[in-house]
Structure 1
Amino acid sequence: MPTPSKRKPNLLAKETSPYLLQHAYNPVEWYPWSDLAFEKARNEQKPIFLSVGYSTCHWCHVMERESFENDAIAELLNRSFVPVKVDREERPDIDKLYMTYVQSLTGGGGWPMSVWLTSDLEPFYGGTYFPPKDRYGRPGFLSLLLSIEQAWKDDRNRLLSVAAGMSTRLETLSLHKPDEVPVDKGVFDLAAKTFAEMFDKENGGFGNAPKFPQPSILEFLLTYSYYTGNQEALEMVLFTIRKMAAGGIHDQLSIKNHGGGGFARYSTDERWHVPHFEKMLYDNAQLVVVAIEAYQITGKNLYADLADDILNYVLCDMTDNDGGFYSAEDADSFPDKTSNIKNEGAFYVWSRKEIAEVLDPLETNIFCFIYGVENNGNVLDDPHVEFTGQNILFIKNTPTVAAEKFSIPLATIDKLMVEAQKKLFHARHKRPRPHLDDKILTSWNGLMISALSKASSAFQNQHYLDAALKAAEFILENLYNGSEGRLLRRYRKGRAGIEGKADDYAFFIQGLIDLYEASSEHRYLNHAIKLMEKQVALFFDDKSGGFFNAASDDPSIPIRMKEDYDGAEPSPNSINALSLYRLADMTGREDLRETADKTIAYFSKALNESGRPLPFMLKATMLPLYGTRQIMLTGHRQSETMKSFENTLGGMYLPDTFIVHASDSHAENHPFLKKVISQTAGTAAYVCAHQTCSLPVSESKSLEELLRKTKPSMKK
């Protein structure tokens, strides 16, 4: 087989996506998603083979190695199909459309996704990963291609009929308006009960292996506990965070200002021990927020330290020099610099022998005791061959237990472990790093801007605020067309492109609102308002409610869908509902509130049935039912009183409360705010609800007492 360097590149070599570029030297003659590919399919009367994945996807790499690098399979694909590659992270709208089809066909989904289409982009067969030959209970890819090739020759009309029928079903689903039903307190109680039944009382988290962090569920439960006083909901979250933080899913090697740490995508077992080692920006951004909220509720440094750990990873290992944040790090890497075969987790796993070569004997014994390192490896019950004899670091014993076992003072244990961490971190740094997906996505950067903004307020940390400001300016400068008011989705190596999708607008708007609250810079609130107006114009379904995932004037997608699931990322509909209510309160604009109400109404039936698919939307739905508060801060931000106010607010968990930074120059569009400012002298804080404001307070202690007294309750 020719090496990639000796092969002629296919059309993907001209693309920007790291995922597409990974396939640029396959013998498969790949096309990007484009009119050129569709025209070829029409002219040559061939079906399209659509392969969707992303650059840090382990099984995508496996299918490439087994099938797309196979000359016989490539010859068949090139002869009888038009092969098209799509990066799901660049085109979530395409991914959503055909994943909906695959899930309806097979009952499941995942990546790589494989779908066969007509030249009109109508699907007639699909699945996920296919091995080259029959195994794992799956049909072999080669035999499947031969079968489809023959069916296209012998029974094309039937396949076209199947495809047309499925396309009609997808379009009907896209335009379907569910019945609207009332949403009341019982919806939240039912969802909390559902999650309690799913809760793993031994290991934390929800459901069985594979186990995902599911931050949207955690955020809902924290909010539910806040409004209702339900301690079980709070304890489920805190227990899950602690278990995850101690597990192998959490990278246990990190050094402040050097990197490491953060969380992997998910755990292959129910104990959080054996991760799927890829690290995603969106997971880590959301987990920062959950950790901050746990800290605000409990005051325990464990949760603050965890948020700092994740942010240290992102700022050191995932940040572009210009301020944007990269997308992901791969699960696979070379075991050493002489190897030409990547292994999953090779960068992260250790044998005890390797640890002993780096640490002195006492450090080795204590480190291995604390982090669960065994002589024969601690992954003996995992089917991954590459983990044989290897250890995935997790916190098996606390330093306090180690101090008792080794009869050494706790302070000495702590000091030894700091030094051991440094030695092992630097030893690991010499290994080949996993592939870095260095594209910068507007949507995921929005999530990280939110995380940094919240962290800057909770910890009064200027470094975090500066990073959030720099990232926001990067997006506004490189991925925002001010004259048209539109966002682009992706930036990489100086090239911006792809029209923004609903999640780009939703997540970035949320980030701008959070940044406004943290910085008091009104320009970010103004940008948020303008982008929300543009998003409503481009994506909102005014007839039925809810936001489509692609713009109304986007010709590159045959059917627009609505994201109806808070999964690894929250649905743009859920984020938008929350942001619309926030903006409505901040600006007094009832049109924004009505758009939020229509969005909730569209999903009301799904929320009433269990709420399980949309936990973040449940969080948003609590706002109109329980009520909200605005805190208006007037005066100079640099004054000691204002700093005291901000310190108090940053330390409190207030999901019902929004901050408005008031000054004469920014009140012209808000009559109520203008009136408040005109009656205020000096630095003061007001707590406002239902168009009624408290008397101003000038001490942070008084503000805290006022907030505790005015906590909303369920409207009758």
Structure 2
Amino acid sequence: MNRLQHETSPYLLQHAHNPVDWYPWGGEALERAKREDKPILVSIGYSTCHWCHVMERESFEVEATAEVMNEHFVCIKVDREERPDVDQVYMDACQAISGGGGWPLNAFLLPDARPFYAGTYYPPERKYNRPSWTELLLHIAKTYREDRPSLEEQAENLVNNISSGGDRLLGLERQTQGIDTLMENLRKNYDSARGGFGGAPKFPMSQSLELLLAHGVLSGNNNDVFQAGHSMRAMLAGGIYDQIGGGFSRYTVDANWRVPHFEKMLYDNALLLRLLGKLQLVTPDPRYLQAIEETTDWLQAEMSLPDGGYRAALDADSEGVEGKYYVWQYDELRDLLPPEDADLVADFYGITPEGNWEEERTNIPYRPGPLPVVTDLPVDVAVAKIANARRILADVRRMRITPGADDKLILQWNALLVSGWSWCYRATGDERYLTLATELYAALTDQLNSDGRWYRNRTSGQLGAPAFLDDYAALASAALDLGEVTFSLDYGLKDARELVDHVLETFSDAEDRMFYLRPPNESELPVTTKDFYDNALPSGNSQMAHNLYRLGRLTGEDRYETRANRMVEAMAGAIERYPTSFAGWGLTALLMQSDARELVVTGEGARRAAREFLSDYRPGLLIVASEVPRDDVPLLANRYITELRYFVCENQTCRIPVGSSDAARQLLN
């Protein structure tokens, strides 16, 4: 056993038995490298990463390979989900060298932690146009001994590249001042045949779909609304959605949403629940409601942690085989169900004797067509039979050996789930989702806040690193979302404001424009980085811009909106050119260019009266309700009347207050 045996990260513990002399990231390893003047190998991954497992089996578990690693390098393992700051620096280096990246990420550093080379997966022998892992190790060790100045030069160039890389996005020239070019560029990437964006591998890209939906609602562009729904319905019919157990996989290896990479991430499901809630508000669909319910059931059954909150992920593999837990043989259906039901279920889920996943000769449940296409049975009878069969299959599947679970409680990802369930409550009116959201928010405070300081994660009872920008941004957004659905002003005016003010004070760059991922005075890394890209997760900077915009409108304090405007303006050219990479930014830009609208409800029964307006999706509409005078809140100042009153305002001009929801709705429409 190596030093990783003392860690709590599931990913690090997976490597604790390796013959490699792994260190966790920290002072002990970095000081040894300096003391012995030895290069550092940093290997970065996460517990549900399939190719991380492959490289471990092929190389890190092999004694001869470990001997080479131990002789020539100080070897460090990093869980990227615990330390996104470490991951970002060395991923930026990898992308600067090769133009690509991924995990496992293997970076080679000088003793002062500056990177001079980085790559991803390496096989045990030459293939895929790559050297073997051992060849690479020996070559780098030889170069370090015999030509160190070249590595010093490469490290200097990489550090300069990383330091300035993000800032190159700022100030890119815009083609237009409006939002039209941004939306045109977003639509160019849309797959009109299969939904979603781009080809294989295919990711949900929920933030881009949210941008389409919001623009469609605000502009009256029904095609944008259709495309957002088209993509979600395609996912819900595909293998990326777990037809038996609920929840979404991270991506599919094909362009048709059919063959998933089976790992399930908490953040994907949180963001897709948020999108489902918004879609249900705009274009109600029983399939959206079913997916909200099934995904929530799965989260509670398979992802909840005993002390509160939700685990990070489920692995793709079980028993060493990718997807084994989730796939079915045709004969299994024949054994488990009556013959007529087995035929119906097989047709409904596309299950065949030969296997619909041809490479593996097994079946991934998906939906090849609606019920009338696959059966002549009355719809209600067919629905009941399929629901019963699904319960049977789910019960049988639970008896299989389950995929590995990553039990980290991560602040950012759980905060995104608070927001997701807040939107599910708006879409359904079901108190279940509001209760889940508020209980999770309270659990995060209990589990991840200690002595007034927030932490990134908790694993096996131990707190991880101090919270990063992404954590604060997601939590502030969750607080604002809860405030909007509960009409409890403290969520926004107290919690969100405290979080945002802390970020402004400690994470700001020298120009007071963007934010570092980690406060620069707390970092042992050779570069302090800023992340702007909205990838699978929204970037901390884009979420902060959105939070600042919302908080400025709620509090009436110009400093928040001024900072948000400065951030979005600096990113305007990048947003316009590459909207799928900056969709969260795009949504904030869209709202800033739209009319600022408020609905203020005061008087007896104000909260109950305001609640009915939650069932409409009106992007950018701020709803505030109070049953007591609140002159400390600009939107409520001098607007309290004992009787129920509705104030509809637009661009800082308010209509005459009205006394009924119908009259208020007419003004809003």
Q: TM-score if structure 1 supplies the norm length?
A: 0.90
Residue 505 of structure 1 aligns with which residue? 472
Residue 502 of structure 2 aligns with which residue? 534
Partner residue of 1:272 out of 254, 257, 263: 257
Name the CA shift for 1:346/1:695 in 2 (closer, same or farther; >3 Å). Answer: same
Q: Deviations for 1:335-371, whole angstroms, at most 9, x for unmatched residues?
A: xxxxxxx100000000101221211211111100111
Partner residue of 1:514 out of 456, 481, 487: 481
Q: Does residue 221 of structure 2 align to residue 199 of structure 1?
A: no
Q: Which amino acid aligns with 2:375?
A: A
Taking only aligned residues, the RMSD between alpha carbons, in angstroms, comes to: 1.8
Residue 30 of structure 2 aligns with which residue? 38
Residue 702 of structure 1 aligns with which residue? 663
Q: Deviations for 1:372-421, whole angstroms, at most 9, x for unmatched residues?
A: 111011111x4xxxxx22000000132222332xxx32222111111111
Residue 675 of structure 1 aligns with which residue? 638
Q: SS of 2:292's equivalent?
A: helix
Q: SS of 1:499's equivalent?
A: coil
Residue 428 of structure 1 aligns with which residue? 397
Q: Which amino acid aligns with 2:196?
A: G
Task: Give the CA deviation at 1:93.
Answer: 1.4
Task: Give the CA deviation at 1:656.
Answer: 1.3
Name the CA shift for 1:312/1:703 in 2 (closer, same or farther; >3 Å). Answer: farther
Q: SS of 1:27's equivalent?
A: coil
Residue 385 of structure 1 aligns with which residue? none
Q: Which amino acid aligns with 2:611?
A: E
Residue 204 of structure 2 aligns with which residue? 213
Q: Measure, in 2, the Cα distance between the counterparts of 1:668 and 1:411.
A: 55
Task: Give the CA deviation at 1:642.
Answer: 4.1
Task: Give the CA deviation at 1:544.
Answer: 5.8
Aligned length: 668
Residue 350 of structure 2 aligns with which residue? 372
Task: Give the CA deviation at 1:673.
Answer: 1.8
Task: Give the CA deviation at 1:202.
Answer: 1.8
Residue 443 of structure 1 aligns with which residue? 412
Q: Deviations for 1:548-573, whole angstroms, at most 9, x for unmatched residues?
A: 11123313333121112111011111
Q: Measure, in 1, the Cα distance between the counterparts of 2:408 and 2:439.
A: 17
Partner residue of 1:300 out of 276, 282, 285: 285
Q: Measure, in 2, the Cα distance between the counterparts of 1:184 and 1:501.
A: 34
Does structure 2 conserve the Cα–Cα contact (< 8 Å) formed by 1:263 and 1:284? yes
Residue 133 of structure 1 aligns with which residue? 125
Does structure 2 conserve the Cα–Cα contact (< 8 Å) formed by 1:133 and 1:139? yes
Residue 419 of structure 1 aligns with which residue? 388
Q: Which amino acid aligns with 1:208?
A: G
Q: Measure, in 2, the Cα distance between the counterparts of 1:122 and 1:553.
A: 17
Name the CA shift for 1:610/1:402 in 2 (closer, same or farther; >3 Å). Answer: closer
Q: Measure, in 2, the Cα distance between the counterparts of 1:358 and 1:591.
A: 63
Q: Measure, in 2, the Cα distance between the counterparts of 1:471 and 1:326.
A: 12
Q: Deviations for 1:30-87, whole angstroms, at most 9, x for unmatched residues?
A: 1111111111111111110011111111111111111111111111111110111111
Unaligned runs of 5+ in 1: 1-8, 254-259, 335-341, 383-387, 709-716
Q: Deviations for 1:281-321, whole angstroms, at most 9, x for unmatched residues?
A: 11111111111111111122222322222222222221223
Which range is displaced more, 322-331 or 667-676?
A: 667-676
Does structure 2 conserve the Cα–Cα contact (< 8 Å) formed by 1:349 and 1:391? yes
Q: Measure, in 2, the Cα distance between the counterparts of 1:328 and 1:377.
A: 27
Q: Measure, in 1, the Cα distance between the counterparts of 2:231 and 2:167.
A: 38
Partner residue of 1:355 out of 325, 330, 333: 333
Q: Does residue 647 of structure 2 align to residue 686 of structure 1?
A: yes
Which range is displaced more, 109-118 or 304-313?
A: 304-313
Identity of aligned residues (%): 35
Residue 621 of structure 2 aligns with which residue? 657
Does structure 1 conserve the Cα–Cα contact (< 8 Å) formed by 2:242 and 2:249? yes
Q: Which amino acid aligns with 1:515?
A: L
Q: Does residue 61 of structure 2 align to residue 69 of structure 1?
A: yes
Partner residue of 2:584 out of 610, 616, 619: 616
Task: Give the CA deviation at 1:175.
Answer: 6.0
Alignment of 1:172-571 (within 5 A): 172-173=164-165, 178-179=170-171, 186=178, 188-253=179-244, 260-334=245-319, 342-380=320-358, 382=359, 388-404=360-376, 408-481=377-450, 483=452, 486-525=453-492, 526-543=494-511, 545-571=513-539
Does structure 2 conserve the Cα–Cα contact (< 8 Å) formed by 1:517 and 1:661? no
Q: Measure, in 2, the Cα distance between the counterparts of 1:353 and 1:115.
A: 47
Task: Give the CA deviation at 1:185.
Answer: 5.2
Q: Measure, in 2, the Cα distance between the counterparts of 1:585 and 1:184.
A: 26
Q: Measure, in 1, the Cα distance between the counterparts of 2:636 and 2:644.
A: 15
Q: Deviations for 1:676-712, whole angstroms, at most 9, x for unmatched residues?
A: 12xx12333322233333333343322322221xxxx
Name the CA shift for 1:634/1:492 in 2 (closer, same or farther; >3 Å). Answer: farther
Q: Measure, in 2, the Cα distance between the counterparts of 1:169 and 1:79.
A: 31
Partner residue of 2:575 out of 599, 604, 607: 607
Q: Measure, in 1, the Cα distance between the counterparts of 2:132 and 2:169.
A: 39
Q: Which amino acid aligns with 1:653?
A: Y
Name the CA shift for 1:512/1:216 in 2 (closer, same or farther; >3 Å). Answer: same
Q: SS of 1:262's equivalent?
A: coil
Unaligned runs of 5+ in 2: none
Q: SS of 2:473's equivalent?
A: helix
Does structure 2 conserve the Cα–Cα contact (< 8 Å) formed by 1:664 and 1:674? no
Does structure 1 conserve the Cα–Cα contact (< 8 Å) formed by 2:166 and 2:532? no
Does structure 1 conserve the Cα–Cα contact (< 8 Å) formed by 2:264 and 2:314? yes
Q: SS of 2:464's equivalent?
A: strand
Q: Which amino acid aligns with 1:699?
A: S
Q: TM-score if structure 2 supplies the norm length?
A: 0.96
Q: SS of 1:527's equivalent?
A: helix
Does structure 2 conserve the Cα–Cα contact (< 8 Å) formed by 1:544 and 1:602? no
Q: Measure, in 2, the Cα distance between the counterparts of 1:365 and 1:207.
A: 35
Q: Deviations for 1:212-248, whole angstroms, at most 9, x for unmatched residues?
A: 0001110111111122222222221111111110000
Name the CA shift for 1:557/1:474 in 2 (closer, same or farther; >3 Å). Answer: farther
Does structure 2 conserve the Cα–Cα contact (< 8 Å) formed by 1:174 and 1:560? no
Q: Which amino acid aligns with 2:472?
A: Y
Does structure 2 conserve the Cα–Cα contact (< 8 Å) formed by 1:697 and 1:703? yes
Q: SS of 2:649's equivalent?
A: strand
Task: Give the CA deviation at 1:191.
Answer: 2.6
Q: Which amino acid aligns with 1:656?
A: G
Q: Which amino acid aligns with 1:450?
A: S
Q: Which amino acid aligns with 1:362?
A: E
Q: SS of 1:685's equivalent?
A: strand
Name the CA shift for 1:543/1:498 in 2 (closer, same or farther; >3 Å). Answer: same
Which range is displaced more, 298-307 or 107-116?
A: 298-307
Q: SS of 2:310's equivalent?
A: coil
Q: Measure, in 2, the Cα distance between the counterparts of 1:26 and 1:477.
A: 35
Does structure 2 conserve the Cα–Cα contact (< 8 Å) formed by 1:12 and 1:20? yes
Alignment of 1:6-45 (within 5 A): 9-45=1-37
Task: Give the CA deviation at 1:669.
Answer: 2.9
Does structure 2 conserve the Cα–Cα contact (< 8 Å) formed by 1:546 and 1:602? no
Q: Measure, in 2, the Cα distance between the counterparts of 1:232 and 1:691.
A: 31
Residue 339 of structure 1 aligns with which residue? none
Q: Measure, in 2, the Cα distance between the counterparts of 1:183 and 1:701.
A: 42
Q: Measure, in 1, the Cα distance between the counterparts of 2:419 and 2:503.
A: 19
Q: Deviations for 1:560-605, whole angstroms, at most 9, x for unmatched residues?
A: 2111211101111111111111111111010111111121122123
